[in-house]
Chains A and B, each alone.
Chain A
């Protein structure tokens, strides 16, 4: 069935079966492959995207459920060539190695800026625990998130 999604501010019309997840629709049909598939069962956070500004998991949403909703993927984060401060901070603090969990980490971290997460590193660690990083780049991730939070970015 045809469904029109608003992805990164643009309408994208896809012809999908109801069983197609947002994750597979993005990766296999829209060819927006920044959003990663790590577990396909809501257990790793690699597919984190924003729906109406809130972080969610694209692997557990059917594409057809999202008509009229605003979807943001990592591709929609940077303003042209200018990186979002969170993206720049991840590079600066080496908040990744292989980079595969990174889109989900960054989308989670950006959403976190608008959540009632406490100020401490421990609070950030808890709030970011839904994003597994098997390379173990957690210290760099926390440093990046804290740098952006302390700079007051949104």
Chain B
């Protein structure tokens, strides 16, 4: 690791000010991703501002609170395991709890925060190795993954500049649930729908979100979405646990008398961002539950997929994963 300045902030406003003042300064929360990348020198901040103590001034940052409209506000410093084990989340948003528990390991979930996990960076081999070029890490140097090892990389949302997969599980569930990210910057707070929060690589793979430098994620809000009690996260990976998704599906269905009234579908492990599939949702809504319907929705979800040499299997795998998740949710009795 390169040397850097370290400041432990206790006041959120101070933290924002310190980071905003300098391009090379970064927020440090759970550390599970940033410190890893600093060791690799993929990230080389000149200074970090430790935000783990901010909840002393602002307890909501570490709390999960029910909102008057039936939604849920999750403080940005809530740890992944606490969120996964939260009884309200387990009862009303099982897809989120399952996604969290499908990610990483018990130790990492005790460290990783809600805000930090939204910003987890790709596992693309080339991004994580500074000996190799990478447009995301060093714009303009090229993407060696496109003609190299790309089994783990994306088939949706790619560009000729970058095909790196968004690696997370939690964000996929949150995207499906229609979450909103609340951020606080030098100019105050703003709310960003999570589906608009992420950027596909396009010509600028180095830009992954709409977050401006110095903006601190303070909370994620989930809408009430009563039918999300009937939801599920299915993750497929190379071993039974502790591995990133090759494909995953987050699904919530509102089924009334065998017909789908509303649906939420997102895919993970196959796209450059946590991938909300409005196409699949449109294909589902208004129709009677059937295997054929699910297969049609899955075809729609992957309609724009572009395979590379090693990852063509992901297109069919993602379809089947989605069909499986839809099937499981459709067979659940409403809770």
Contacts and interface: CB of A to CB of B under 8 A. Distances in A.
Instruction: Verify that A and B bind, or say they do not.
Output: yes
Interface residues of B, number: 31
Nearest to B2: A19
Contacts of B30: 60
Contacts of A62: 6, 28, 31, 35, 50
Interface string B18-45: 0000000000101110011011100000
B107 A56 contact: yes
* Contact-residue bracket for chain A: 20 to 34
B35 A129 contact: no
Given A1-B6, A64-B6, 18 more contacts: A18-B6, A21-B35, A41-B40, A42-B107, A55-B110, A56-B107, A57-B107, A57-B108, A65-B50, A67-B8, A111-B106, A112-B106, A125-B240, A126-B240, A126-B241, A129-B241, A130-B106, A130-B108
A127 interface: yes
B260 interface: no
* Residue of B1, B6, B105 with most partner-chain A CB within 10 A: B105
B4 interface: yes
B107 A55 contact: yes
Contacts of B1: 19
Given A57-B108, A115-B106, A19 B36 contact: no
A129 B105 contact: yes
Tell me the dominant secondary structure on chain B's binding face: mixed
Contacts of A42: 32, 36, 107-108
Interface string B202-239: 00000000000000000000000000000000000000
Interface of B: 1-6, 8, 28, 30-32, 35-36, 38-40, 48, 50, 52, 81, 85, 104-108, 110-111, 240-242
A61 B107 contact: no
A17 interface: yes
Contact of A54 (B6, B28, B110, B242): B110
